[in-house]
Amino acid sequence: MLPLLKFLFRRFMWMILTVWIVYTIAFFLSRAVEGDPFAGERAMSAEVKRYKMERYGYDKPLVSQYARSLWLMTTQLDLHESRKLNEIPVTQLIAEGFPVSASLGIFALVFALALGTVAGVISAVYRYSFLDFSFMTAATLGIAVPNFVLASIAIMLFVFWIPIFPAGGWGTLRQLVLPALCLGAPFAAYIARLTRTGMMEVLNQDYIRTAYAKGLGDRRVVLRHALRGAILPVVSYLGPATAGILTGSLVLERIFFIPGMGSHFIEAALQRDFPVALGMVMVYTMLLFVANAIVDLSYVVIDPRVRLE
């Protein structure tokens, strides 16, 4: 129990430091953009513009703006209001968009794990066969083709030519399936290759030959003995995969008109809505940090020889 608490405490302190560094960099980069945040406002008089600049603190020195913004975020979890979306609090936008993006990401990750693991195991068991060649060829194509290109092809195939799924939107399972599959397909390809490599290495180990010598069947040896040892590279990949799914969803949410955090983030960047963009960056940073910590904890569950450090 004590090593776990020490591990969680260290990770928490590193998370605080990481969030502060990312926040600082993102804040000053957003302010480095030329112009002012109200440049796109239509028919704004000088008085109204001066009032808004004073209200939101943009008339203060940059260091003062940073200190005030950081203080409000750390003490009150106040990420300010959107400058373009009728002054809606950024926390409200996150609360509305996060469940949508999380649903898309979880569905895509589950699909990638299921398809990639099954394909990798089959390729390793029947290595150098037609199945192995077919799966690895598909995996290579999946890695090479970006998800937004795959989304365009999928829309032409399954929306226009074979109208199975809707072109976009959110709210039903049919609207979730196509973007989640497009988002998870490249990661399924990576997982398939990692699983195949790990399985081929493990299947040559002595304890696998011993299991066969005891008369255990192929299915039991592969699923209960070999897969557990071969899955560690896949678990290590889940951290980067989570990062890729989160960043990949930014584009796909726009393509499929999904009202998630990615849509808000891109719109904020285009409209120079600094608080929204900064808030989304903070959420993504914390999600990635937590995902990597969970991956490290899962090592102990999968392989008891691993110790927390």
Residue 17: band (very low, low, confident or very high) from pLDDT cuts 50, 70, 90: very high
- pLDDT in the model for residue 126: 87
Please tell me the distance from the alpha carbon of residue 3 to that of residue 283, in angstroms, as a whole number.
28
21 pLDDT higher than 90 = yes
Report the 3 state secondary structure along 164-225: CCCCCCCCCHHHHHHHHHHHHHHHHHHHHHHHHHHHHHHCCCHHHHHHHHCCCCHHHHHHHH
224 pLDDT higher than 70 = yes
Please tell me the distance from the alpha carbon of residue 60 to that of residue 163, in angstroms, as a whole number.
55
Please tell me the distance from the alpha carbon of residue 8 to that of residue 289, in angstroms, as a whole number.
12
- pLDDT in the model for residue 116: 92
- pLDDT in the model for residue 40: 58
pLDDT digits (tens, 9 = 90+) for 69-100: 888 888 877 777 777 766 788 888 888 888 88
- pLDDT in the model for residue 42: 60
Burial 50-67 (b: 16+ CB within 10 A, else e): eebeeebebeeeeeebbe
Most confident of 30-39, 57-66, 158-167: 158-167
Indicate the domain borders of the chain: 98-273
Alpha-carbon distance values, 270 to 33, 37, 62, 87, 200 (Å):
12, 11, 22, 17, 48
Residues contacting residue 262 through CB under 8 Å, at least 6 positions apart: 97, 101, 249, 250, 251, 252, 253, 254
- pLDDT in the model for residue 308: 61
CB 27 within 8 A of CB 58: no
Q: pTM for this one? A: 0.79
DSSP track, 56-93: TTTTS-HHHHHHHHHHHHHHH----B-TTTTT-BHHHH
Residues contacting residue 168 through CB under 8 Å, at least 6 positions apart: 175, 255, 256, 257, 258
Q: What is the mean pLDDT of residues 53-73?
A: 80
Residue 269: band (very low, low, confident or very high) from pLDDT cuts 50, 70, 90: confident
Residue 115: band (very low, low, confident or very high) from pLDDT cuts 50, 70, 90: very high
- pLDDT in the model for residue 97: 85
Is it true that domain 98-273 has CATH number 3.90.650.10? no
Burial 148-182 (b: 16+ CB within 10 A, else e): eebbeebbeebeeeeeebbebebeeeebbbbbbbb
Please tell me the distance from the alpha carbon of residue 163 to that of residue 155, in angstroms, as a whole number.
9
Residue 191: band (very low, low, confident or very high) from pLDDT cuts 50, 70, 90: very high
